[in-house]
Structure 1
Amino acid sequence: MAETEIVQDYSPNFEQWIRDFSEWQTRIGFDPSWLGDYRFDIKFDWDTAGSTIEFGDFEGMPKWQRRMQIPQQNIRDAIISMVSVQGDTEFASVEQQNHLLETAPTEYDKKSALRIMCEEQRHGWQMAYLLCTYFGEHGVREAAKLLERNAQEGTRILGSFNEPIDHWLDFFCFTHFIDRDGKFQLKMLSTSSFKPLAASMGPMLKEESFHLGTGANGLRRIVKQGVIPCAFLQKYVNKWVSTGLDLFGTDDSTSAQWAYVFGVKGRYDERESSEEADRLHPNEASREFYFQELRDEMRRISTARIEGEPELFIPSDRFNRGIGKFSGKRYTLDGEMFEGNDSDWQAYLDEVLPSDEDEDRLMNDYMQQEWIQYRDWKGD
C-alpha cells in the first residue's frame, strides 16, 4: 500500500497565504472552532503518481517535479490554470454551503457536512501549496486569487460554484452531482505529467468518496422517507444534472486537447483503457463516463421509493445546457427538440425545473415534516 507523505515545513510564501486564509474564513462566516482537531495537512502519494509521463507528446519521459523541468512556458501556464481552477472550486463550495450547518435535519447530517467542508478546505490548501511552492510569483498571485473570488458574489471561475445552495435538498444534489464531477476531475489529474499535482490526487480522491456518498445517501433517505414526492424531487435532479454536465467544458475544447498533448490532464480511464485516445474530444469522452454513472446511481437511488411513486431518472444530456453544442438550444427532458414559441418554452421550464412556488412548498411544507430518514451520528 502506498505511503502518504505529510509536509512538515512550509515556504514563507505559503505561510503568508495561510494568514490570508484565516481572514477568508472570517469573511465568509466559517468559525475555525468548528474544525476541532482537524488539520489541513498537505499530503502527497508519490508512489501512485508514477514516475514517467503516461500519455501525450512527452510520453515515456520522467514526470516533471519542479517548475524549471517543465519544457515550455505554455505548459507551465496550463498547469497553473488547472491547479487554480481546482482550488477555486474547493473554497467556493464552502462559501456556498457553510450557512446550512444551522439548519441541519439531523446531527449526522451536520457532522457529515462539516467534514466535507473541512476536507474541501484542505483540498484548497493543497492547491494553494502547489501554486506557492512550485510556481514562483505567478503562483503566489494565483493562490491569492483563490481567496479573493467569492461564490456569494458570483465571481468564482465555474458556473456551478456560483449557484446558490439554499437548502439541504440542494446540498444533497450538489454533493451527489457536482462533487461526483469533482471525482472525475481529480482522477483525470491523477495521471498528470507534473508529479506534485498527480501525487496530490490520491489523498484527495479518498476524501472525495465520502462527499459523493453523503449526496447519494441523502437522496436515498429522502426518497425512502416519502414525504417529498418523487415528481417534485425530479425537478431538482433536472436542475443540477445540466450544470454538472457543463463542468466538463466545451466540445472540441482546444485547451483540453493541449492539456492531453502536454500530458497535464488525462482521460478519466487513462490507466484502465487499452484504446487509443481521441485527442480531439477528451471532454466529451469523460463527460459520457460521468453521464452513464449518473444514470446507474439514480437507478439505485430510485429503488428506495415507496410504492406508487414514479421512478427518478436522469434527463437527456441535451436538456438545459449552458456549455457545448447543445448550449442555448431547446430540448426536452427526453432529448427531443422542443416545439413551441418562447412563452411555451418558458412554461415548459417552469413545469420541469423548481419554481419559486416549489421552493416555498419545499421550505414551508415538506421540510416542516420529517422529510428525511433519520440517521444516528456514531462519531465522536
Structure 2
Amino acid sequence: MSSINYSEKIPNNVNLADDRALQRALEQWQPNFLSWWGEMGPEGSHGYDVYLRTAVSVDAGGWAHFDYVKMPAYRWGIFLTPGEQDRKIHFGEHKGETAWHDVPGEHRANLRRIIVTQGDTEPASVEQQRHLGLTAPSLYDLRNLFQVNVEEGRHLWAMVYLLHRYFGRDGREEAEALLGRRSGDEDNPRILGAFNEQTPDWLAFYMFTYFTDRDGKFQLSALAESGFDPLARTTKFMLTEEAHHMFVGESGVSRVIQRTAQVMNELGTDDVAKLRAAGVIDLPTIQRYLNFHYSVTIDLFGADHSSNAATFYSSGLKGRYEEGKRDDDHRLNEHGYRLLDVQDGRLVEREVPMLNAMNEVLRDDYIKDSIAGVGRWNKVLEKAGIDFRMTVPHKAFNRQIGTFAGTRVSPDGRVLSEAEWAANEATWLATPQDRAFVASLMGRVAEPGKFANWIAPPAMGVNRQPVDFEYVRFN
C-alpha cells in the first residue's frame, strides 16, 4: 500500500507528517473509509465536479477554500482550533485544574463513549441522505447537499483522529466499527434513534438539517467546553462547519414556505387539494413534518433525569451550552432544576438536582433556539399576508426517550388516551399519504438557474456566485 501524502491528501494542524504511529493507523483506516464512501456516500455522484468548500487550515483565509472537487478526492482534513496557553477546566469537580492533554485513566471509558457516539452520527447522516441527489430541486441545492455530506465525512475523520491518537487498540476497533454500522440496519444500526430514520425527500432533508444538525450544534458546543483539550479544540472547529448545515435547513424550509405562500396568493386559496394539484406542499403538511423531526430530535438529548449526564459534567468531560456565560458556581452540587412529569393524567413540575438534569438543561436551550428559527419562517408567511403560523409542539409530544416515553401528549401539551391519540395522529404527524405526495414532487432539476416548482430560488448564491452558477458539473 502506498503511503499517504499527509500535507496534500489530509490537510491538518496535528503534525501528522511526523507521527508515525498515527500515520500507520490512518493508512489502514483510510481505504476502509473510501470503500464505505463508495458504498454508502451520495449515490451516482463519484464522477461529478462539485463546487465545494474545503478546510485547508484554521485561519480565516484557509478554513473555507472554494473550488471544483470530485467528492471521492475531497481532502478530509483534521483540524483543531489553536490551543489556549495554560487553559483551565472551568466546570465540575476539576474546576480550576489544568486542562488535560492526554486521557485521564479514570475517565477513559466515558470519553471514548462520548467520542464514539458523536462520531457515529456523522456517517449515519450521509447514509440517510445518500439517495437525495437523484431528486435535487436545483444545482444550488444539490451542491449544498454534497457540501453537508463531505463535511459530515470530515467530522467523522475528526472523531476517528481522537480515537486513533488517544485510545490505542480500543480506539482503532471503535474507528472500524463506525464504518461497520448502517443507518436503519436491523442487525447493526446506528447508535441513536434519529439517525436510523429515513430521509426520503427534500422537505425531510431540510427539516433534518434545521432540527437534527441543530442538535449537533448544542452537543458540539457542550463538548467544546470539555476538560479534555483535544476534544474541546476539535469540536470548536467542527462548529464552524455545522453552521452551514443549519443554514441549509432553515433557508430550505423558508423557501418551501415562500413558494407555497406565493401559489396560495396566486390561486386565492388555502385548499389543500388545490395547492397539491398546483404542485406545491401545503402548509399543514409542512407543519406535520416539523412536528415529526422536532420530536425525534429532542429525544437525542437523552433521558431528562440521568446519572450519566451528572457524571459527564462533574468529571469535566461535557459542559453546558455557553458554560462560560453562566452566572453560577459551575459545580452545581447545590442547584436544582425543574423537570416535567406526568401525574394523574396531567403534566406537573418536579425539582431534581441540576446535575442529574443536564440533558434537560441542554434540551431546553436547544428548544429556545429552535423556536427562534421557526419564528423566522412565520415572518415569510406574515410578509405574504398568510394567516397560518408554524408552531413548535410541546416538548412532551411524540417522545420515545425519558419520562414521556409511552405517554401520549398533544402538540399543545394535553395528556391523551390512546384512543384520542389514534384519532388525531394523522393531523399531527406526516402520514404515508403525505410522504407519498411529497415524494411525487421530487425530481432532479439539473439546468443552472432552474428550480423545481415547489421551492423558491434563494436570495443569493454560494460564495458570491450567482444563483444560476453551474454548482455541479455532471461530466
TM-score in terms of structure 1 length: 0.92
CA contact (8 A) 1:7 1:42 kept: no
Q: In the superposition, relative to structure 1, how do residues 346 and 23 fare at CA in structure 2: closer, same or farther (>3 Å)? A: same
Name which of 43, 53, 76 aligns with 2:89: 53
1:374 aligns with 2:457: yes
Gaps of 5+ in 1: none
Aligned to 2:289: 236
For residues 140-162 of structure 1, the C-alpha deviation after alignment (integer angstroms, 9 at most, x for no partner) is 11111100000041500000000
Q: CA deviation at 1:194?
A: 0.9
Q: In the superposition, relative to structure 1, how do residues 50 and 270 fare at CA in structure 2: closer, same or farther (>3 Å)? A: farther
Q: In the superposition, relative to structure 1, how do residues 148 and 49 fare at CA in structure 2: closer, same or farther (>3 Å)? A: farther
Aligned to 1:5: 13
Q: CA deviation at 1:37?
A: 5.8
Q: In the superposition, relative to structure 1, how do residues 332 and 64 fare at CA in structure 2: closer, same or farther (>3 Å)? A: same
For residues 190-236 of structure 1, the C-alpha deviation after alignment (integer angstroms, 9 at most, x for no partner) is 01111110110121000000000000000000111013221121000
Aligned to 2:253: 219
CA contact (8 A) 2:321 2:362 kept: yes
Percent of aligned positions with the same letter in both sequences? 35
1:65-76 residue pairs with structure 2 within 5 A? 65-67=101-103, 70-72=104-106, 75-76=107-108
Aligned to 1:254: 307
Q: In the superposition, relative to structure 1, how do residues 374 and 188 fare at CA in structure 2: closer, same or farther (>3 Å)? A: same
Q: CA deviation at 1:280?
A: 2.1
Q: In the superposition, relative to structure 1, how do residues 107 and 343 fare at CA in structure 2: closer, same or farther (>3 Å)? A: same
Q: In the superposition, relative to structure 1, how do residues 361 and 29 fare at CA in structure 2: closer, same or farther (>3 Å)? A: same
1:96 aligns with 2:128: yes
Q: In the superposition, relative to structure 1, how do residues 48 and 319 fare at CA in structure 2: closer, same or farther (>3 Å)? A: farther
Partner AA of 1:285 in structure 2: V
CA distance in 1, matches of 2:358, 2:41: 38
Aligned to 1:24: 36
Q: In the superposition, relative to structure 1, how do residues 63 and 282 fare at CA in structure 2: closer, same or farther (>3 Å)? A: same
Aligned to 1:364: 440
Q: How many residues align?
A: 371
Aligned to 2:196: 162
Structure 1 or 2, whichever has the larger Rg, is 2
Task: Report the RMSD for the aligned CA atoms in angstroms.
Answer: 2.0
Q: CA deviation at 1:378?
A: 4.6
Aligned to 1:198: 232
Q: CA deviation at 1:13?
A: 1.4
Aligned to 1:355: 431
CA contact (8 A) 1:97 1:171 kept: yes
SS where residue 355 of structure 2 aligns? coil
Gaps of 5+ in 2: 1-11, 48-69, 261-279, 333-353, 445-451, 459-466
Aligned to 1:310: 388
Partner AA of 1:269 in structure 2: E
CA distance in 1, matches of 2:86, 2:239: 16
1:123 aligns with 2:155: yes
Q: CA deviation at 1:89?
A: 0.1
1:164-183 residue pairs with structure 2 within 5 A? 164-183=198-217
Q: In the superposition, relative to structure 1, how do residues 137 and 234 fare at CA in structure 2: closer, same or farther (>3 Å)? A: same
Aligned to 2:66: none
Q: In the superposition, relative to structure 1, how do residues 336 and 176 fare at CA in structure 2: closer, same or farther (>3 Å)? A: same
CA distance in 2, matches of 1:100, 1:353: 22
SS where residue 46 of structure 1 aligns? coil
CA distance in 2, matches of 1:363, 1:322: 26
SS where residue 88 of structure 2 aligns? coil
CA contact (8 A) 1:320 1:331 kept: yes
1:29-40 residue pairs with structure 2 within 5 A? 29-30=41-42, 31-33=45-47, 34-35=70-71, 38-40=74-76
> Which shifted more, 110-119 or 299-308?
299-308
Q: In the superposition, relative to structure 1, how do residues 107 and 366 fare at CA in structure 2: closer, same or farther (>3 Å)? A: closer
Name which of 139, 148, 151 aligns with 2:183: 151
Q: CA deviation at 1:366?
A: 8.5
> Which shifted more, 148-157 or 116-125?
148-157
CA distance in 1, matches of 2:456, 2:32: 40
Q: In the superposition, relative to structure 1, how do residues 49 and 320 fare at CA in structure 2: closer, same or farther (>3 Å)? A: farther
For residues 34-67 of structure 1, the C-alpha deviation after alignment (integer angstroms, 9 at most, x for no partner) is 4276310100113369721121111111211123
Name which of 15, 40, 44 aligns with 2:27: 15
Q: In the superposition, relative to structure 1, how do residues 128 and 36 fare at CA in structure 2: closer, same or farther (>3 Å)? A: closer
SS where residue 392 of structure 2 aligns? coil
CA distance in 1, matches of 2:101, 2:164: 14
For residues 282-307 of structure 1, the C-alpha deviation after alignment (integer angstroms, 9 at most, x for no partner) is 11111101111111110111111243
TM-score in terms of structure 2 length: 0.74
Q: CA deviation at 1:344?
A: 3.7
CA distance in 2, matches of 1:317, 1:129: 36
Q: In the superposition, relative to structure 1, how do residues 266 and 29 fare at CA in structure 2: closer, same or farther (>3 Å)? A: closer
Structure in which a larger fraction of residues adopt strand = 2
For residues 310-331 of structure 1, the C-alpha deviation after alignment (integer angstroms, 9 at most, x for no partner) is 1001000010001111111011
